[in-house]
């Protein structure tokens, strides 16, 4: 075999960062050593894996085909090394979650996982669906937990849990008395919504596609708690997951508005790269996600007393 695991690791780090210097930092070697390793790798097979654009490196077609195979081999090598060293732990898991899942489920599941597996480590990133899909596709994350949908050809999407969005307003809002709204009434209201690219916004946009008009979006925010505060202050009406509103509805600080004209049902999904080696840690985390939400028909019915 002409290539080494170190060469593959340098190649993969360069591909993920677009920079030799950053790849060297991640690999704990000098920049000259990283550059020499990559150059020797390409020279051995008389190939080019990157297009040089100024000071940055971009994968060419061959490099894009090689990256998933290299990542799978490196993951397997890490698994073999852990076995040979007698390490029973799962190492570090890089998990990405969209906002609702990240704030209301993933942290709790992660805490339980670490209680059961004290040698493990978790790095949790919370972004919108579009960003999580991109990071899983680029091997920056081991697993994604998303609220939206993914059509990325390189990713596997597995169903997890049903969820439902709900339109809501402040108790002082005129709609709070009737607690139901028609399509025309919804079009006439100012809205406080998640940003385009989020699973929540995608679900609402899909549900309102048949409306003869566009929603009046007054404010776009990236965080559900900020949306709740803005709606409480009377700036407009909002639409987020029922799970994120359970405590506010219980306190009466926000009021649900029934919307017969909208289908706001959706599903949470697991996401991983089709060519990524599934480690024991990944499988254990997926199993725990399913275990801790078992028996719930919908996210807001999960019988976990510590979810607000």
The string of pLDDT tens digits covering residues 151-179 is: 999 999 999 999 999 999 999 999 999 89
Does pLDDT of 308 surpass 70? no
Query: Which H helix or E strand runs over 129?
Result: helix 129-137
Instruction: Report pLDDT for 275.
Output: 87
- Helix then strand count (H, E) for the chain reads 13, 11
Instruction: Report pLDDT for 124.
Output: 95
305 band by pLDDT with thresholds 50, 70 and 90: low
Q: Give CA angle at 197 (276, 138), nearest 5°.
A: 20
Instruction: Report pLDDT for 88.
Output: 56
Instruction: Report pLDDT for 86.
Output: 66
301 band by pLDDT with thresholds 50, 70 and 90: confident
Query: CA distances (Å), 111 to each of 104, 261, 282, 288, in order?
Result: 12, 39, 15, 11
Distance CA 302, CA 73 (A): 38
- Tens digit of pLDDT for each residue in 172-221? 999 999 899 999 999 999 999 999 989 999 999 999 999 988 899 999 99
Does pLDDT of 289 surpass 60? yes
Residue 208 main-chain phi, psi, to 5 deg = -105, 10
Distance CA 195, CA 242 (A): 18
79 band by pLDDT with thresholds 50, 70 and 90: confident
What is the pTM assigned to this prediction? 0.78
């Amino acid at each position: 075999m002409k290539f080494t695991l170190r060469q593959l690791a340098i190649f993969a780090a360069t591909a993920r960062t677009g920079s030799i210097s950053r790849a060297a930092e991640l690999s704990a070697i000098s920049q000259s050593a990283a550059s020499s390793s990559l150059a020797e790798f390409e020279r051995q097979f008389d190939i080019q894996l990157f297009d040089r654009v100024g000071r940055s490196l971009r994968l060419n077609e061959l490099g894009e085909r090689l990256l998933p195979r290299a990542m799978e081999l490196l993951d397997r090598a890490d698994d073999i090394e852990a076995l040979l060293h007698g390490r029973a732990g799962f190492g570090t898991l890089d998990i990405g979650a969209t906002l609702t899942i990240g704030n209301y489920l993933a942290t709790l599941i992660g805490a339980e996982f670490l209680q059961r597996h004290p040698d493990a480590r978790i790095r949790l990133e919370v972004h919108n669906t579009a960003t999580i899909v991109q990071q899983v596709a680029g091997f920056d994350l081991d697993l994604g937990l998303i609220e939206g949908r993914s059509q990325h050809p390189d990713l596997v999407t597995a169903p997890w849990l049903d969820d439902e969005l709900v339109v809501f307003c402040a108790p002082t809002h005129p709609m709070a008395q009737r607690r139901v709204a028609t399509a025309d009434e919804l079009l006439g209201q100012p809205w406080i919504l998640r940003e385009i690219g989020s699973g929540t916004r995608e679900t609402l946009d899909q549900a309102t596609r048949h409306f003869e008009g566009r929603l009046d979006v007054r404010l776009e925010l990236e965080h559900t708690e900020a949306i709740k505060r803005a709606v409480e202050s009377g700036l407009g009406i909002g639409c987020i997951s029922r799970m994120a509103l359970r405590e506010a509805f219980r306190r009466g600080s926000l009021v649900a508005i029934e919307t017969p004209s909208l289908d706001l049902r959706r599903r949470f999904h697991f996401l991983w790269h089709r060519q990524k080696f599934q480690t024991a840690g990944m499988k254990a985390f997926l199993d725990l996600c399913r275990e801790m939400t078992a028996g719930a028909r919908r996210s807001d019915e999960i019988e976990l007393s510590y979810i607000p």
